Amino acid sequence: MVLEKLLDKFQVHIKSEIPDSYFHIYLKGNFSTTQTPVDVGCVQKDFIRIDIDKTLQKLETFLSQSGKRIEEEMQWLKENKIDLVISDASSLPLKAANETGIPSILISNFTWHDIYNFFPEAAKQKTLLDILQNEYAAASLQILPQCHIFNDIVAKKEEVGFIARKGQNVRDRLETTTETSFEDKTVVFIYLGDIGAQAVQWKNLINLRDCLFITRDPLPKGIANLFVLDDRFLYQDLIASSDIVCTKAGYSTLATAFSHGKPVISCSREYFREFEAMQDYMFGNKVGLIVDSKKFFDCDWEEDIQKAQKLSIEGKVPLDGEVKALKIIDRVLQKY
């Protein structure tokens, strides 16, 4: 992961809405955090559907303060003597960096302009989209990991392999914790997030007798072959310990799965442009499957799990994107 490596060489400040405690779980070293909104993202109805109206309302509110936010960010950059801004999808810090006269790098497989521009009747949101376009255009460079959406907004781009956390196989710990033998079973890691997974017919997993399912999602307990684990187990370790990953198809989960040689099973996500890119990538490289929505919600996965077991990841996708990304960061800093 790029951020982990940066801590070895630089003084790092992290600005995000994510609580400080999260970063201390995954990062070791000296860094400071500021909890603040940096973008809007998407308001979800559930793990596959976006609430487009609420997302755009939230975006309009956020961008109505963009001028003030950029001025405040510029002041913060100057006071803290920042030499480089790195952004994961957010456009605001890119514009602030440009106005302050320092370089900025966008490390992301998409921009929020890509996502919102894919919404129905996006043309009616031209004013909002133009603000985002202007902010993204201020980036000095975009590093494009795999599964990316190519844009014509950021002038300079460089492609890298998947960027992902590396995990360890902890099946021995899992067997001890669950008091279950994983031998001769297909182990499926489930990650759908916290929103809307109640609609899935989880009780039907019991019909998949040759499979064991592990997750950290808040899923129902009491299903014999579904094990709901806590934060003693890291996501990347659970992926490393599984045979197949079943997910809503977000970049981080796919990147971690492929980095550990695990095929992916997913379900379509309506009006989410990033999913289209991921679907094309999985199909084109034969590293994942998309399950029909009804079958997915019914947990009718047996046929697809069998198909996924036959997929191979080795040699099909570029990995270790963080290595090249760090070299690019060093080069940008030397140039400026």
pLDDT tens digits, one per residue of 134-144: 999 999 999 99
- The phi and psi torsions of 66 (rounded to 5 degrees) equal -60, -40
Instruction: Say if residue 177 is in the same domain as residue 157.
Output: no
CA distance 41 to 60: 12
Instruction: Say if residue 177 is in the same domain as residue 152.
Output: no
Domain contains 69: yes
CATH of the domain at 282: 3.40.50.2000
Q: Which domain holds residue 205?
A: 171-309
| Mean pLDDT on 191-195 | 86
Instruction: Say if residue 220 is in the same domain as residue 147.
Output: no
Q: What is the pLDDT of residue 328?
A: 96
* Amino acid, res. 175: E
Domain contains 205: yes
Instruction: Say if residue 239 is in the same domain as residue 112.
Output: no
Domain contains 314: no
Statement: the pTM of the whole predicted model exceeds 0.85: yes
CA distance 186 to 177: 18
| Mean pLDDT on 25-31 | 83
Residues 188/305, Cβ–Cβ less than 8 Å: yes
pLDDT higher than 90, residue 217: yes
Identify the band that residue 7 occupies on the pLDDT scale cut at 50, 70 and 90: confident
Identify the band that residue 22 occupies on the pLDDT scale cut at 50, 70 and 90: confident
Q: What is the pLDDT of residue 193?
A: 84
Instruction: Say if residue 6 is in the same domain as residue 126.
Output: yes
Q: Any alpha helices (H) in 64-186, and if so which ranges?
A: 66-79, 92-100, 112-116, 126-136, 171-178
CA distance 13 to 97: 14
Q: How many domains does the chain have?
A: 2
pLDDT higher than 90, residue 21: no
Identify the band that residue 20 occupies on the pLDDT scale cut at 50, 70 and 90: confident
Instruction: Say if residue 152 is in the same domain as residue 226.
Output: no
pLDDT tens across 76-99, in order? 999 999 999 999 999 999 999 999
pLDDT higher than 80, residue 1: no
Identify the band that residue 249 occupies on the pLDDT scale cut at 50, 70 and 90: confident
